[in-house]
Amino acid sequence: MSNRAKLFIPAIFFVTMLGLLLYGLFHDPSKVPSALISRSMPVFTRPNLFDDKAAVSNEQLKGGIFLVNVWATWCPPCHAEHPYLLEISEREKGVTFVGVNYKDDAQAARDFLQERGNPFKISFSDPAGTLGIELGVAGAPETFLLDATGTIRYKYVGAIDNRVWEEKFVPLLAQLR
């Protein structure tokens, strides 16, 4: 390498570092890919939120497109996304909305849904958060999209709003239909 070319090494190093730092600046480190994508919904049986004696199992989440939303009344972002979930549950007729009431008081959850509207066709509780661990849930809200075979196709961490729905879910739904 000629001496002239060597002079550019610090400049190239600097620009590379700058690029990496810029990437770090606009990259959200809390967005971690889920380990469960392309895996089946774990086997579970949990009490129906509205009827303790009835149970909901993973077998009921097959044969269609399911949107599984992990939520709780103690979680502020869940309150924030609730009106939007109501809106899309009315709009998206081909998708069955499922609510997993995560580590919550069942009575408080029932009151919440009765008072503010219930976007979920199926609701069940996971009082100890053990299904949450099976699903790799770190905290509510998290939302999973299942295809007709019961395979997890997508997971979103955080509250769903219009931008997230249009950017992340709509293209995938078009693909699944």
Partner 1 sequence: MLRRIQVLLLALLFVVPAWAAIEEVDFNDAQQLVRYKALIAELRCPMCLNANLAGSDAPIAADLRAEIHKQILAGKSDEEILQFLTERYGEFILYKPPLHIATSILWFTPPLLLLLGFFVLRRMLAGSRLQTAESDPLSRQEQEQLQQLLQKDQQG
DSSP bridge pairs for 155: 144
Q: Based on CB atoms, which residue is closest to partner 1, 33 or 94?
A: 33
Minimum distance, C-beta of residue 91 to partner 1, in the bound complex (Å): 31
Minimum distance, C-beta of residue 151 to partner 1, in the bound complex (Å): 15
Q: Based on CB atoms, which residue is closest to partner 1, 74 or 84?
A: 74
The number of angstroms, rounded, from the C-alpha of 167 to the middle of its chain's C-alpha atoms is 14
Q: Based on CB atoms, which residue is closest to partner 1, 43 or 54?
A: 43
Q: Based on CB atoms, which residue is closest to partner 1, 2 or 30?
A: 30
Minimum distance, C-beta of residue 176 to partner 1, in the bound complex (Å): 23
Long-range contacts at 135-138 (CB < 8 A, ≥ 24 apart): 135/36, 135/42, 135/70, 136/34, 136/35, 136/36, 137/70, 137/102
Minimum distance, C-beta of residue 41 to partner 1, in the bound complex (Å): 13
Q: Which is nearest to 118 in space by CA: 100, 99, 101, 131?
A: 99
Residues interacting with partner 1, by CB under 8 A?
A: 29-30, 32-36, 103, 129, 132-139
CB burial readout 57-80, b (16+ within 10 A) else e: ebeebeeebbbbbbbbbebeebbe
